[in-house]
């Protein structure tokens, strides 16, 4: 067996193990903390895994800490999309030039674009979000609000 075949086999098996473990973890979270999924969005544990994040539930806010090493503040964009979806997008331009040809034996560093999305619950103020970027750490703070109850009753006037 060649060395490259060994790395391909080991890395392929590792990916399958981690994917299965992620599914197991997601199922456990949904079953043990159903209100978290409701408050923060059903699709919180999405298939995307970069950037890695910590989500902290504070008394007045939700804080998302995202590790984006190698990216600058200018490389990252945060938007609220239709349906209260928070999108964190990073676009890193690969350096091109006259480089010596190279073959990777092992590649783990992320040097490409990413787009991670979180469905936000109605109890979060999507119009009042703060973000800071320091030393490859992105911190997004979303204030909690008390959602206004919607009256499901509509009175129709009779002509």
Q: Domain segments of the chain: what residues?
A: 33-96+104-144
Reported as a single tens digit per residue, the pLDDT across 129-139 is: 999 999 999 99
The CA radius of gyration of the chain, in Å to the nearest whole number, is: 21
Q: Find, among 121, 127, 120, 125, the residue nearest to 144 by Cα.
A: 125
Strands 85-90 and 76-81: antiparallel
CB atoms within 10 A of CB 152: 5
CA distance 73 to 45: 25
Q: Residue 128 in 3-state DSSP?
A: strand
Q: Which tokens go with 90?
A: 């990073």
- Name which of 78-82, 108-112, 144-148 the model is least confident about: 108-112
Give tens-digit pLDDT for 43-93.
Answer: 455 444 678 899 999 999 999 999 998 889 999 999 999 988 999 999 877
Domain 33-96+104-144 coded CATH 2.60.40.790: yes
């Amino acid at each position: 067996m060649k060395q490259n075949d060994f790395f391909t086999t080991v890395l392929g098996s590792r990916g399958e193990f981690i994917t299965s473990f992620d599914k197991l973890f997601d199922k456990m979270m949904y079953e043990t903390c159903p209100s978290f999924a409701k408050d923060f969005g059903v699709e919180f544990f999405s298939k995307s895994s970069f950037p890695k994040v910590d989500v902290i539930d504070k008394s007045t806010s939700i804080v998302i800490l995202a590790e984006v090493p190698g990216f600058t503040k200018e490389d990252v964009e945060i938007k609220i999309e239709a349906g209260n979806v928070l999108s964190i997008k990073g676009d890193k331009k690969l350096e091109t030039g006259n480089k010596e040809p190279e073959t990777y034996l092992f590649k783990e560093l992320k040097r490409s674009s990413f787009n991670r999305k979180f469905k936000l619950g109605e109890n979060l103020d999507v119009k009042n979000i703060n973000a800071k970027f320091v030393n490859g750490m992105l911190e997004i703070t979303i204030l909690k609000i008390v959602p206004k109850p919607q009256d499901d009753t509509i009175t129709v006037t009779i002509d």
